[in-house]
Structure 1
Amino acid sequence: MRATDAVGRYGEDVAAAFLVGEGWTVLDRNWRGTRGELDLVGLDGSELVVVEVKTRRSTAFGHPAEAVTARKLARVRRLTAEWLRTHDVRPASVRVDVVAVLLTGRGPAQVEHLVGVV
C-alpha cells in the first residue's frame, strides 16, 4: 500500500469513528460503483448521508476540504443515485457531507465535518 493510500485509509477510519461517536450508523465504506467509489455511506437519524472524506498531513496544499471540487461532488451525486438503486434503503432524505481530516503529527487528528455541501 502506498503511503498516500495509507493516509487516506486512516482518515476514513478517523471519520467513521467520529460519525459513529455522533450517533450515526455506517452502512457502507469504500463502496464501488460503476464509475467510482463512495468513501462512507451512513444514516444520521432517518437521513441517508454520503460522506466524502479528505485527509491531509499538512495544509501546504490547502485545507483538505478544498480538494472537494464541483466535479467531484457531481460524481458523488451520480454514485449516490447508483447506491440507492442497488440497496434496499428508503431514507426520508439524502444529503452529501464532507469530513476533512488533518493529521499534523502533533496530537490527535483534527476533524471538521461540513454538513450538506450540495
Structure 2
Amino acid sequence: MAQKDLLGKAGEELAAQFLEDAGYTVLDRNWHCRHGEIDLIVCDGAETAFVEVKTRRSVAYGHPFEAISAAKMGRMRRLAALWCEVHPGAPAIRLDAIAIIWPRDAAPSIEHLKGVH
C-alpha cells in the first residue's frame, strides 16, 4: 500500500476515534457502492453525518479542506441519499468534513466542520 494510502487510512481511524470521543456513534466506515465511497457515517443525536476525511502531512500544497471540491460534495450528497435508501428511517442528514494535518514528527491536528455544502 502506498504511503499516502496508509496516511489516509490512519487519518480515517483517527477521525473515527475523535468523533467517538466527542459522543458520536460510528454507523459505517468506508461505505461504498458502485457510485463511490463515504469515509465515515456517524450519528450525532438527531442527525446522521456523512463525513469526508482528508489527511495531509503539511499544508505545503494547501489545506486538506481545499481538496474537497464542489464535485466531491455533490457526489457525497448523492451517496448520502443512496445510503438513506438502504437504511430507511435514518434521522436528518448533514455533510461534514474533517481535516487532519499529521506531520511525521509531531502530533496530528484535527479540524471538524459540520454542515459543509
Whether these two folds match at TM > 0.5 is: yes
Amino acid at match of 1:77: R
Task: Report the aligned-residue RMSD.
Answer: 0.9
Amino acid at match of 2:115: G
Q: Which residue of structure 1 lines up, in the alignment, with residue 58 of structure 2?
A: 58
Deviation at 1:2, TM superposition (A): 1.2
Q: Which residue of structure 2 lines up, in the alignment, with residue 40 of structure 1?
A: 40
Q: Secondary structure at the match of 1:111?
A: strand
Deviation at 1:90, TM superposition (A): 2.2
Q: Secondary structure at the match of 1:97?
A: strand
Q: Which residue of structure 1 lines up, in the alignment, with residue 67 of structure 2?
A: 67
Amino acid at match of 2:15: A
Give the TM-score normalised by structure 1. 0.95
Equivalent-residue separation in structure 1 for 2:28 and 2:89 (angstroms): 12
Structure 2 unaligned spans of 5+: none
Alignment of 1:1-118 (within 5 A): 1-91=1-91, 93-118=92-117
Deviation at 1:19, TM superposition (A): 0.4
Q: Deviations over 1:35-63 (max 9, x none)?
A: 11000001011200000000001111100
How many matched pairs? 117
Equivalent-residue separation in structure 2 for 1:82 and 1:11 (angstroms): 25
Amino acid at match of 1:34: R
Moved over 3 A (4+): none
Structure 1 unaligned spans of 5+: none
Give the TM-score normalised by structure 2. 0.96
